């Protein structure tokens, strides 16, 4: 309250951009036939919140272009926050307590601030402190110490860019889609930052017009190691970046994981930004806060959870990617569709032709660009929904490992060079469907053939390379999810349905041997 939401709403109404413009508190009072203060006094806050949630839902169902000024407590309802984040773009106006107190000095209509001036300030400070983590769960945060007209102009400008939100309280961040150049400059303005890229993605540092110290890594999964992390730490020391600065990762999953790990461990944690340049990193590693590196004993065994403060997905960066590398990333998209359900799988089946256009024709082709963006957003939204429920992979987030048990094993056994990660995941998805078939778990018997057909149409492998079973078994025993001689295994049952079982590694080895033997 006092941030200026209603004043900004009036300024937005003057733009002519919206078919419906509503102040939520005004609509509640109109429906109740009495003021907000009167509702609080006669029915209490719980009744008001219920009425607020009901009225908000009615407004969101109006259709057309819509702008709503929310009451300061409207986001207290988890259901309302989730609805707002999915329905459009949620903007939070923030201002210092002194500014809010000054604006509300002569306002006697606030039931939560009743009392003397000193107690009003104390109550307001308490409200802000307790609600701030929820206020951060939005798409855009703006400093409200400007005129309503200036704020309305910025709201209109910023909401032209598509965004999704990862609502994690004070660790919340937005995923922005589209041309990243201007958005990056705006995000980094006035802040010291270090750019981390590799030999292949350094060209995008230039294209984005970024002029800052940089650490240029050797490209490839084989270089996701302690030596590369130390290279970033040394660059951070040389640039004298402190906790007010920012690490900017421009590249695929290797760059993002290493930059995130270096940021998590430099001065016990500095902010970092993800600018993923591969399909795989856009839909997987850039979202969720997993960072890390590989050691001789296995992949990603050293790491930390450290959420980025923003993610910028610019599909133009895919135009310079090797076509098969781009297609390999689609395995994670297929995985997301399997977890999401029928609608997502059908979306990929319809868009297959445009998703596999070659690199030379990708950038100028609107249909290919739109199809890629649809696929990426579908996968990101699925991952976001899971991450919000289970940030540190103690429960439902393990679903994102679908296809990865066998996939990681083949990736490790082949020396992290013969198979791209996405190709390994594609093989893993095919094998976990075969496990489901052999164990009689399927609810949809056409499901395995359908997914294999989809993977093949995306130029992804569904049969593993010829490697000794013993080598795969050794890799399975090094899986970081292992529990003694068993391992949690995700078995797909039907579109959108997966069950986790604890299977003996010997059983997985025997099943794999039987599957490969049956295929000759």
Catalytic status, residue 404: yes
Name the catalytic one among 374, 383, 420, 452: 383
Cα separation, 487 vs 222, in Å, equals: 26
Catalytic status, residue 443: no
> Token pair for residue 273?
């930004």
> Token pair for residue 478?
């090094």
Catalytic status, residue 268: yes
Partner residues linked to 303 by β-bridges: 292
Catalytic status, residue 383: yes
> Token pair for residue 103?
């604006």
Name the catalytic one among 176, 223, 401, 452: 401
Catalytic status, residue 332: yes
Catalytic status, residue 139: no
Cα separation, 190 vs 204, in Å, equals: 21
Cα separation, 85 vs 166, in Å, equals: 9
Q: Sign of the CA dihedral 498, 503, 509, 513?
A: negative
Name the catalytic one among 43, 153, 391, 393: 393
Question: Measured between alpha carbons, how far is residue 180 from residues 84, 87, 208, 264, 283 in Å?
Answer: 25, 23, 7, 24, 16
Alpha helices in 77-141 (DSSP H): 78-87, 97-103, 117-135
Name the catalytic one among 421, 423, 452, 509: 421
Cα separation, 434 vs 13, in Å, equals: 57
Catalytic status, residue 408: yes
**Beta carbons of 223 and 230 less than 8 angstroms apart:** no
Q: Which of 116, 103, 112 is nearest to 25 (CA)?
A: 112
Rounded (5°) CA angle 175-82-73: 110
Name the catalytic one among 176, 306, 404, 452: 404
Alpha helices in 279-403 (DSSP H): 279-280, 323-328, 330-340, 342-355, 359-362, 366-389
Name the catalytic one among 22, 136, 290, 299: 290
> Token pair for residue 237?
């020391």
Catalytic status, residue 290: yes
Name the catalytic one among 52, 325, 332, 411: 332
Cα separation, 234 vs 15, in Å, equals: 50
What does the DSSP 8-state code read for residue 152? H
> Token pair for residue 258?
């290493």
Name the catalytic one among 61, 116, 268, 519: 268
Name the catalytic one among 224, 335, 408, 420: 408
Q: Which of 302, 186, 206, 195 is nearest to 259 (CA)?
A: 195
Catalytic status, residue 126: no
Cα separation, 158 vs 78, in Å, equals: 25
**Beta carbons of 243 and 193 less than 8 angstroms apart:** no
4 conformational bin, left if phi > 0, alpha if psi -120 to 50, beta if neither: left
Which residues form the catalytic set? 268, 290, 332, 383, 393, 397, 401, 404, 408, 421
């Amino acid at each position: 309250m006092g941030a200026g939401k209603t004043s900004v709403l009036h300024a937005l109404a003057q733009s002519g951009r919206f078919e419906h413009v509503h102040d939520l508190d005004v609509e509640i009072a109109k429906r109740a036939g009495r003021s907000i203060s009167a509702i609080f006094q006669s029915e209490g806050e719980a009744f008001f919140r219920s009425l607020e949630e009901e009225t908000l839902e009615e407004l969101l169902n109006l259709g057309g272009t819509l702008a709503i000024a929310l009451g300061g407590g409207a986001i207290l309802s988890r259901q309302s926050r989730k609805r707002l984040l999915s329905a459009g773009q949620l903007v939070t106006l923030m201002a210092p307590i002194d500014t809010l107190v000054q604006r509300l000095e002569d306002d006697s209509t606030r039931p939560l601030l009743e009392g003397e001036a000193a107690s009003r300030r104390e109550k307001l400070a308490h409200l802000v402190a307790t609600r701030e983590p929820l206020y951060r769960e939005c798409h855009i945060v703006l400093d409200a110490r400007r005129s309503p007209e200036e704020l309305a102009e910025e709201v209109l400008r910023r909401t032209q860019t598509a965004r999704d939100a990862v609502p994690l309280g004070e660790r919340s961040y937005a995923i922005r889609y589209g041309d990243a150049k201007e958005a990056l400059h705006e995000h980094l303005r006035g802040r010291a930052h270090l750019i981390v890229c590799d030999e292949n993605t350094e060209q995008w540092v230039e294209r984005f017009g970024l002029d800052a110290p940089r650490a240029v890594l050797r490209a490839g999964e084989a270089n996701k190691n302690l030596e590369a992390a130390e290279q970033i730490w040394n660059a951070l020391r040389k640039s004298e970046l402190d906790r007010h600065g920012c690490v900017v990762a421009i590249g695929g999953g290797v760059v993002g994981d290493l930059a995130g790990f270096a940021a998590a461990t430099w001065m016990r944690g500095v902010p970092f930004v993800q600018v993923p340049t591969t399909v795989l990193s856009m839909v997987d590693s850039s979202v969720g806060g997993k960072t890390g590196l590989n050691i001789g004993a296995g992949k990603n065994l050293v790491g930390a959870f450290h959420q980025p403060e923003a993610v910028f997905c610019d599909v133009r960066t895919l135009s310079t990617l090797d076509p098969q590398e781009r297609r390999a990333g689609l395995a994670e998209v297929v995985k997301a569709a399997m977890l999401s359900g029928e609608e997502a799988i059908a979306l990929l089946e319809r868009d297959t032709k445009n998703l596999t256009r070659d690199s030379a024709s990708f950038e100028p082709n609107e249909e290919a660009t739109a199809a890629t963006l649809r696929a990426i957003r579908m996968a990101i939204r699925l991952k976001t929904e899971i991450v919000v429920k289970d940030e540190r992979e103690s429960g439902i987030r393990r679903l994102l490992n679908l296809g990865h048990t066998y996939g990681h094993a083949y990736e490790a056994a082949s020396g992290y060079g013969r198979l791209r990660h996405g190709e390994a995941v594609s093989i893993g998805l095919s094998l976990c469907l075969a496990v489901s078939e052999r164990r009689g778990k399927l609810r949809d018997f056409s499901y395995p053939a359908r997914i294999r057909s989809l993977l093949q149409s995306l130029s992804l492998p569904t049969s593993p390379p010829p490697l000794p079973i013993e080598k795969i078994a050794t890799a399975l025993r090094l899986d970081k999810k292992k529990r003694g001689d068993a391992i949690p295994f995700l078995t797909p049952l039907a579109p959108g349905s997966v069950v986790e079982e604890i299977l003996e590694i010997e059983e997985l080895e025997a099943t794999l041997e039987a599957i490969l033997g049956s295929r000759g």
